């Protein structure tokens, strides 16, 4: 597991920096030092990480989190995606448990995002270890117990995407106004 750290927030509170200090992830301060093969988690790509993507990681591809400020998300994603060939994926909706965005759907910290993918590919123990360093870490799993279990059991990305509507009040694509 890796994270590209763009140093846009306080390193003393940054979940990727803290997870790297514990040895749970490898932190990359330069984009070109990140792995060349695998999945990068970035919330703007429009394609949810689903069962079809598990093989990328299970066959030796790396899991990479993009660690940047939510304030600068668009420019950060644009910069990183221009310079990497990693497969971009976003996460299904979950509630953040981190103190900065507590309870906000989709506003996960880097550690929460990485733990989510670990959970989805059947590595729950490792997911809990990644968040174990944070006093709110177990709360993430409590807040998201039902959706995490349902997402992990989904047999396709389309099923996983549809499940979000059972847990969160969001407009379905055909219901959104233009």
Q: Provide CB contacts within 8 A for 63, sequence distance 6+.
A: 1, 2, 38, 39, 41, 57, 114, 117, 118
The confidence band for 15, taking pLDDT boundaries of 50, 70 and 90, is confident
Query: Which residue has better confidence, 55 or 13?
Result: 55
Q: What is the DSSP letter of 156?
A: S
**What DSSP string runs through 23-40?**
TSSEEESSGGGS-SSEEE
The confidence band for 67, taking pLDDT boundaries of 50, 70 and 90, is confident
Query: Which range, 12-16, 33-37, 94-98, is most confident?
Result: 94-98
Query: Which residue has better confidence, 23 or 51?
Result: 51
Chain-wide mean pLDDT for the chain? 88
pTM: 0.87
**pLDDT at residue 84 is higher than 90:** no
**What local confidence, expressed as pLDDT, does residue 124 receive?**
95
Whole-number Å distance between alpha carbons of 119 and 155: 15
**pLDDT at residue 79 is higher than 70:** yes
Q: How many domains does the chain have?
A: 1
Q: Which domain holds residue 155?
A: 2-175
Lateral strand order in the sheet of 62-67: 26-28, 2-5, 62-67, 38-41, 87-89
């Amino acid at each position: 597991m890796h994270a590209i750290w763009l140093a846009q927030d306080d390193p003393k509170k940054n979940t990727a920096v803290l997870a790297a200090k514990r040895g749970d992830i490898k932190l990359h301060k330069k984009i070109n030092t990140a792995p060349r093969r695998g999945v990068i988690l970035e919330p703007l790509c429009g394609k949810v990480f689903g069962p079809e993507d598990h093989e990328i990681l299970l066959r030796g591809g790396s899991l990479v989190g993009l660690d940047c400020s939510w304030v600068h998300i668009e420019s950060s994603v644009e910069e990183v995606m221009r310079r990497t060939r990693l497969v971009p994926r976003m996460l299904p909706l979950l509630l953040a448990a981190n103190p900065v965005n507590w309870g906000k759907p989709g506003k996960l910290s880097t550690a929460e995002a990485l733990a989510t993918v670990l959970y989805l590919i059947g590595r729950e123990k490792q997911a809990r270890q990644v968040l174990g360093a944070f006093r709110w870490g177990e709360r993430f799993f409590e807040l998201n117990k039902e959706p995490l279990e349902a997402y992990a059991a989904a047999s396709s990305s389309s099923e996983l995407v549809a499940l979000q509507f059972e847990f969160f009040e969001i407009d379905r694509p055909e219901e959104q106004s233009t």
